[in-house]
Chains A and B, each alone.
Chain A
Amino acid sequence: MPAEVKKVATRASYGRALVELGKEHENLYVLDADLAGATQTGMFKKEFPDRHIDCGIAEADMMGIAAGMATTGKIVFASSFAMFAAGRAFEQVRNSIGYPHLNVKIGATHASVSVGEDGATHQCNEDIALMRTIPGMVILNPSDDIEAVAAVKAAYEYVGPVYLRFGRYAVPVINDRPDYSFEIGKGILMREGKDVTIVATGLCVASALEAAEKLAGEGVSAEVINIHTIKPLDEEIILNSAKKTGKVVTVEEHSILGGLGGAVAEVLGEKLPTKMTRIGVNDVFCESGTAAQLLHKHQLDGEGVYARVKDFLK
């Protein structure tokens, strides 16, 4: 990636998108659990103090309050770190939001290792796996600023529960093009190729593109697919690419268990058994460090993805 590439943390995109939506829609409310500064819902609070409710450090209660508000017709974004939104409040999300299929949007920031210095307790590598098991839950994991704003707006328009995943770490803007469009459940072909398919999500899409560029220099043609919607999964785009290349690599800033890699393996295993490998956080707890160091250590940066794909193709 050239040094001049613009970088934005998707949590900031979340805060900005909420403000934009708040201007248009009076029925939009934002809940937070004492993290308004970090989740960036503070921007919305500043603009619309009457429509931002801080529930205090009580994520379970916040999810229930969001559910109750949703039954009265309000559209609520409930925000916290992924660890607490999907982890601590899992059962509230399942039973109070998922089971009654209420129109609540869960804005989960600070996902996975790019949280960095806070360390393992705050690096949620399990949220996608957890949320995937809730029937009817839509899961959006945008790759950059532009996609994150689009995802928040799409989530607002969609009727039903949505889990949105954002990061703390500033990531390159990769979708700044006129023909960009976001549709829930529709993967995006970022780069065509014929030798291997790299299916990536979140900040790993940029890593996959970087890796593909490097591979191209060595004569390897990698196709890169951006899966911003983990559920419902765009099976078609994955199957079509797998049919073409015969080799699939998944890349995600999440545990290799139950996330994008799991979802793709399930589809390929049943419909088109294909040689594949999963890049993600292996079955381990991580540790403190800078986001860049941790992404490098877990081979989630461009260099890491490149090395892993090369290894896979041997």
Chain B
Amino acid sequence: MTTLELQLMANEVRKGIVTAVHGAKAGHPGGSLSAADVMTVLYFDEMNIDPKDPKKEDRDRFVLSKGHNAPALYSTLANRGYFPVEDLPTLRHLGSYLQGHPCMQETPGVDMSSGSLGQGISAAVGMALSAKLSGYGWRTYTLLGDGEIQEGQVWEASMFAGFHKLDNLCVIVDNNNLQIDGAIDEVCSPYPIDKKFEAFNFHVINVADGNDVDQIRAAFKEARETKGQPTAIILKTVKGKNVSFMENQAGWHGKAPNDEQYAVAMEDLKKVEEALCQQK
């Protein structure tokens, strides 16, 4: 995919996120929007996956450790062809296969159930370890929130991954700087994030604009080429990215837009799309 195609797709993923959360009347739009670009690059460019065969054995694995970003995962999977985009508004509805947090038994393309923070990274480490033990060539990716890394289990998992030199593991941190109670450096600062992962024997890549698909792509390439240690990619992102009233607002971590706000959000995303199309 070209840069522009990825940007347009990330915009479609954002529309799906906003639509899903609006349909659910609950959910987590802020962090989903900050992660829309990396999710798009993963599923449309980086990972070896097949939406027609979600469980194919040699696929790359993805674990959404920040499970509350389920809207971003679902919108990405739907746009990639795992299930109909039209189903996104059933998010969180009784009987829907789109649970509030990812459920691997319900949703095609979900490699691991997650939602309780700090746990997904351990499962990703287990997958990467399994591949190493058996000589499988596939890679494992996991996306963590910057607030999530306050969980001690993240560091247990990181110690293990660094010690076992899991270079088939790529840990991504969505560093949008906001958590429920406010800015992460005001609640309980995890900074410096890069130094911490370095101390746990990771190769660390700081991505200055974590919403830039080319910068994300370059980071994944560097991660793939890194041997002998796992990689941590720290994406400096904007929470609520491209929805005017949600950008950098901690209040939009876990709140759904009403009908009026939904219309504004979709209008914002339409403008982004128009601006991108003018580059064609």
Instruction: Of the listed stretches A59-67, A187-195, A306-314, name the one at the interface; the rest are far from the partner chain.
Output: A59-67
B131 in contact (CB, < 8 A): yes
Known A58-B159, A61-B156; contact A72-B127, beta-carbon cutoff 8 A: yes
Contact B119 A92 (CB under 8 A): yes
Mask of B121-134 contacts with A, CB within 8 angstroms, 1/0: 11111111111011
Chain B residues contacting A100 (CB-CB under 8 Å) are 103-105, 112-113
Q: How large is the interface on B (under 10, 10 to 19, 20 to 34, 35 or more residues)?
A: 20 to 34
Instruction: Of the listed stretches A49-57, A124-132, A268-276, name the one at the interface; the rest are far from the partner chain.
Output: A49-57
Complexed CA–CA distance, A95 and B115 (Å) = 8
Chain A residues contacting B128 (CB-CB under 8 Å) are 68
Chain B residues contacting A60 (CB-CB under 8 Å) are 118-119, 122, 152-153, 156
B160 in contact (CB, < 8 A): yes
B219 in contact (CB, < 8 A): no
Contact B153 A61 (CB under 8 A): yes
Residue tally, chain A, CB below 8 Å to B: 28
Complexed CA–CA distance, A68 and B161 (Å) = 13
Contact B125 A65 (CB under 8 A): yes
A239 to chain B, nearest CB (A): 33
A-B contacts counted at CB < 8 A amount to 100
Interface residue from B105, B113, B134, B160 paired with A55 (Cβ < 8 Å): B160
Contact B119 A64 (CB under 8 A): yes
Mask of A32-54 contacts with B, CB within 8 angstroms, 1/0: 00000000000000000011010
Contact B113 A95 (CB under 8 A): yes
B153 to chain A, nearest CB (A): 5
Known A96-B122, A100-B112; contact A68-B103, beta-carbon cutoff 8 A: no
A236 in contact (CB, < 8 A): no
Complexed CA–CA distance, A71 and B114 (Å) = 13
Chain A residues contacting B130 (CB-CB under 8 Å) are 68-69, 72, 74
Contact B119 A96 (CB under 8 A): yes
Chain A residues contacting B159 (CB-CB under 8 Å) are 56, 58
B70 in contact (CB, < 8 A): no
Known A58-B159, A67-B126, A69-B127; contact A95-B105, beta-carbon cutoff 8 A: no
Contact B125 A68 (CB under 8 A): yes
A156 in contact (CB, < 8 A): no
Contact A61 B157 (CB under 8 A): yes
- Interface positions, chain A 70-114, Cβ under 8 Å from B, are 70-72, 74, 91-92, 95-96, 99-101
- Secondary structure class of chain A's binding surface, majority of residues: helix
Complexed CA–CA distance, A92 and B153 (Å) = 10
Interface residue from B103, B113, B125 paired with A61 (Cβ < 8 Å): B125
Complexed CA–CA distance, A65 and B140 (Å) = 13
Chain A residues contacting B133 (CB-CB under 8 Å) are 29, 50-51, 74
Contact A68 B156 (CB under 8 A): no
B252 to chain A, nearest CB (A): 26
B143 to chain A, nearest CB (A): 15
Chain B residues contacting A99 (CB-CB under 8 Å) are 103, 113
Contact B104 A71 (CB under 8 A): yes
Interface residue from B103, B123, B152 paired with A67 (Cβ < 8 Å): B123
Chain B residues contacting A95 (CB-CB under 8 Å) are 113, 115-116, 119
Contact A101 B105 (CB under 8 A): yes
Contact B129 A65 (CB under 8 A): yes
Chain A residues contacting B167 (CB-CB under 8 Å) are none
A21 to chain B, nearest CB (A): 17
Contact B111 A71 (CB under 8 A): yes
Complexed CA–CA distance, A63 and B159 (Å) = 15
A226 to chain B, nearest CB (A): 34
Contact B113 A64 (CB under 8 A): no
A79 to chain B, nearest CB (A): 15
Known A58-B160, A61-B153; contact A68-B123, beta-carbon cutoff 8 A: yes
Complexed CA–CA distance, A60 and B133 (Å) = 21
Mask of B79-119 contacts with A, CB within 8 angstroms, 1/0: 00000000000000000000000011100000111011011
Complexed CA–CA distance, A269 and B116 (Å) = 35
What residue of chain B has the Cβ atom nearest to residue A72's Cβ? B130
Contact A96 B127 (CB under 8 A): no
A15 to chain B, nearest CB (A): 21
Given contacts A67-B122, A72-B131, A96-B122, could you give 12 more A-B pairs where the C-beta distance is less than 8 Å? A58-B153, A60-B152, A64-B120, A65-B123, A68-B63, A68-B130, A69-B129, A69-B130, A95-B115, A95-B116, A96-B113, A100-B103
For this complex, 12 residue pairs linking A to B, each with C-beta atoms less than 8 Å apart, are A58-B160, A64-B121, A64-B126, A67-B112, A67-B126, A68-B63, A68-B122, A68-B127, A72-B127, A96-B119, A96-B122, A100-B103
**B interface with A by C-beta (< 8 Å):** 61, 63, 103-105, 111-113, 115-116, 118-131, 133-134, 136, 152-153, 156-157, 159-160
**A interface with B by C-beta (< 8 Å):** 29, 50-51, 53, 55-56, 58, 60-72, 74, 91-92, 95-96, 99-101
Chain A to chain B: the 7 pairs with minimum beta-carbon distance, closest first: A68-B126, A64-B122, A61-B156, A68-B123, A65-B126, A58-B156, A72-B130
